[in-house]
């Protein structure tokens, strides 16, 4: 086991694993950029991932080891710090709360400080670049600064969503960095476990980043899908998707009832209280309809202040409509005129909605704040006056 852990092939295996994960992240990043070109973070992600892949190739070739030229070792270590700073800026930007405005200046200064420290080390010890091959060049300040950067970023995750997952990844990378520095300056390769940790923990870190990016992609896809089927203001189904869902209900349940509601005096509310207040009332009424529909119906926005409910034809639609009318009156500052229509054999969703709309218009023109039912399974259509 000791020989296996200290074998150089472990480094190749770790680099191969990291390259595979980074390549999958690159594929997702390109897809994100094509879908959301206006987001500059995706462009930055596409830039930094090739840098990380280049770093893995250099490490696999032993560019940070004792057999490579000093300048190549220095460049590899600087590249590792730069790429780590950029990738964490990208993920913190992706997962920052909307109220948090993450600025790039601190990250830029951290990268600039890395170059400054490297310059200082060479200025105070020019022989570092003249060291012969045989052991890694001891860029002590740069190596310990890399650990400090990790620690500073870990401390600044307060405004990041999924903070626990992200912080775990940073702590794993921190442990890998610490194992690498300890192995290089204290044990000098005599403890195989430290060598294994320094090579494999970054792989786990990249896997966690991949999972975070995958979760982000899934969330964006779900958001795009929801925006295509729901109304942006109320969150109810839009007219097109309501028609589709109601049609599916009709096929499965062999009949539906449509409850068509229109908020009374909504234009006056807009004029006297303003659009912001009116929109708030509309969302409040929509939330009531959503709660009522949770027992098995579907709710949608037909347009303007017109809202819809579709329930099964055997679900006592008139009683549900009366419940809706009463709750709107009691829980908001508006009332609602409602029409109810049942589907018949051979009728379409459009016809049922049109008849419910006509019934609502009767409620609107005969006093408002009432329910009118047509095409009931039991008796002919008649108005149902609201309870006092």
pLDDT at 139: 86
Q: What is the pLDDT of residue 366?
A: 93
Per-residue model confidence (pLDDT) at position 325:
94
Specify the pLDDT at position 186: 86
Which mean pLDDT values do the consecutive 10-residue runs of the chain (388 residues) have?
A: 60 90 93 78 91 91 76 90 93 74 86 94 84 72 92 77 79 92 82 84 93 87 84 90 90 85 92 90 93 88 92 84 94 94 88 94 93 68 37
Domain layout of the chain by residue ranges? 2-229, 239-384
Q: Which pair of structure tokens corresponds to residue 333? A: 């500052």
* 239-384 matches 2-229 in CATH topology: no
Of 175, 230, 225, which Cα lies nearest the Cα of 205?
A: 175
Burial profile 76-104: b = 16 or more Cβ within 10 angstroms, e = fewer: bbbbbbbbbbbbbbbbbbbbbeeeeebee
Tell me the CATH number for domain 2-229: 1.20.1070
Q: CATH 3.40.440.10: does it fit domain 239-384? A: no
Strands 371-374 and 336-342: parallel
The pair of three-digit structure tokens given for residue 283, joined into one six-digit string: 């969302």
Q: Are the C-beta atoms of 193 and 239 separated by less than 8 Å?
A: no
Residue 371 sits at φ, ψ, to 5 deg, of -115, 130
Closest-CA residue to 96 (of 160, 40, 45): 160
Question: What is the pLDDT, as a whole number, of residue 386?
Answer: 37
C-alpha gyration radius of the chain: 32
Separation of alpha carbons 71 and 333, rounded Å: 74
């Amino acid at each position: 086991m000791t020989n296996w852990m200290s074998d150089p092939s472990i480094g190749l295996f770790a680099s191969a694993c990291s390259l595979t994960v980074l390549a999958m992240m690159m594929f997702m990043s390109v897809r994100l950029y094509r879908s959301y070109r206006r987001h500059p973070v995706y462009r930055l992600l596409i830039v930094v991932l090739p840098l990380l892949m280049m770093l893995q190739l250099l490490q696999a070739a032993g560019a940070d080891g004792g057999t490579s030229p000093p300048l190549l070792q220095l460049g590899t270590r600087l590249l590792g710090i730069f790429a780590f700073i950029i990738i964490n800026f990208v993920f913190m930007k992706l997962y920052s709360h909307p109220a948090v405005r993450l600025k790039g200046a601190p990250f830029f200064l951290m990268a600039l400080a890395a170059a400054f420290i490297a310059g200082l080390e060479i200025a105070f010890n020019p022989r570092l670049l003249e060291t012969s091959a045989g052991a890694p060049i001891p860029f002590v300040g740069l190596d310990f600064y890399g650990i400090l950067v990790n620690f500073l970023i870990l401390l600044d995750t307060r405004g990041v969503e999924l903070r626990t997952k992200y912080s775990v990844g940073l702590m794993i990378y921190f442990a890998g960095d610490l194992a690498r520095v300890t192995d290089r300056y204290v044990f000098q390769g005599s403890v195989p476990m430290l060598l294994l940790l320094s090579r494999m923990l970054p792989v786990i870190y990249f896997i966690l980043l991949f999972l975070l990016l995958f979760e982000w992609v899934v969330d964006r896809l779900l958001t795009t899908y929801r925006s295509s089927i729901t109304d942006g203001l109320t969150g109810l189904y839009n007219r097109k998707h309501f028609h589709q869902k109601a049609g599916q209900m009709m096929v499965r349940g062999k009949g539906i009832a449509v409850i068509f509601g229109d908020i009374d005096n909504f234009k006056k509310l807009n004029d006297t209280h303003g659009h912001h207040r009116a929109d708030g009332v509309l969302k409040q009424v929509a939330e009531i309809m959503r709660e009522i529909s949770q027992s098995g119906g579907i709710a949608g926005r037909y347009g303007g202040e017109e809202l819809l409910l579709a329930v099964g034809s055997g679900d006592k639609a008139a009683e549900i409509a009366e419940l809706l009318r009463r709750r709107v009156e009691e829980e908001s500052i508006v009332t609602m005129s409602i029409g109810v229509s049942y589907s018949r054999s051979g009728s379409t969703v459009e016809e049922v909605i049109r008849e419910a709309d006509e019934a609502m218009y009767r409620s609107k023109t005969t006093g408002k704040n009432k329910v009118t039912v047509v095409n009931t399974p039991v008796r002919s259509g008649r108005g149902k006056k609201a309870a006092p």
